Amino acid sequence: MGKMHITTRINGDDTEFLCDADESLLDVLRDRLGLTGAKEGCGTGDCGACSIVVDGRAVCSCLMLGAEAQDRDINTIEGMAEGEHLHPLQRKFLEHAALQCGICTPGILVTAKNLLERNPDPTETEIRYWLAGNLCRCTGYDKIVRAVQDAAAEMRGA
């Protein structure tokens, strides 16, 4: 079986790639497209380190085949900052020291941004449940939640 030719849209850019039928979208992003922000933690959809947004919904890219990406609209962590200009969530994560080793950070930022697009003023409980599929073994989560709350407040102009 030859490789599959897939055309899709990633971070606003028309993109094409060749992949094997059984290749995950995460492997395509990292190994074929050089988009190494999404990380492989568990590879089974438990940890959220590979989170991306597909057609407006946060998904684990390890649980999706590259071939499924045909004609989808995909957003990854690489599309979050505009040039040197960090997204408010990224800035607040730095200000609050909401990361240590950083492996989980791209997935958490992508998933948190997806939350704030749907709900600009989430409660702490809503933030914790929304991010329940993003594991962090360093921070104890508290600084992450504070950073998301602070970014949400800034984005609301509060």
Partner 1 sequence: MRFEAPSTVDGAVALLAAEDGITRVLAGGTDVMVQLKSGMVEPDLIVDIKRIPGMFDIVEDDGGFRIGAAVPGAMLGEHEGVSRAWPGVVEALGLVGSTQIQSRATLGGNLCNASPAADSVPAMIAAAAVARVHGPDGVRDVPAEEIATAPGKTSLARGEMVGSIFLPARPANASDAYLRFIPRTEMDIAVVGAGVSLVMDGDTVAQARVALGAVAPTARLVPDAADALIGRTVAAAEDDLKAAASAACAPINDKRGTIEFRTRVAGVLAVRAAHIAAKRAGA
Query: Which spans of this chain sit near partner 1 (rule: CB under 8 A)?
Result: 1, 4, 21-22, 24, 43-46, 48, 51, 54, 57-60, 62-65, 67-68, 70, 111, 114-115, 129-134
CA pair distance 93, 110, nearest whole angstrom: 12
Task: Count the neighbouring beta carbons within 10 Å of the beta carbon of residue 18.
Answer: 13
Residue 76 C-beta: closest distance to partner 1, Å: 14
Least Å distance, CB 46 to partner 1, is 8
Please state the closest distance from residue 119 (CB atom) to partner 1, in A: 12
The torsion region of residue 147 among left (phi > 0), alpha (psi -120 to 50) and beta comes to alpha
List, in order, residues 6 or more apart from 62 with CB less than 8 Å away.
24, 25, 26, 40, 42, 43, 44, 45, 50
Q: Which is nearer to partner 1, 10 or 60 (CB)?
A: 60
Instruction: Give the burial class of 32: count Cβ atoms within 10 A of its Cβ; 0-12 exposed, 13-18 middle, 19 or more buried.
Output: middle
* Residue placing its CB nearer to partner 1 in the complex, 88 or 133: 133
Closer CB to partner 1, 21 or 97, in the complex: 21
Q: Whose Cβ is closer to partner 1: residue 21's or residue 101's?
A: 21
CB of 124 to partner 1, least distance (A): 14
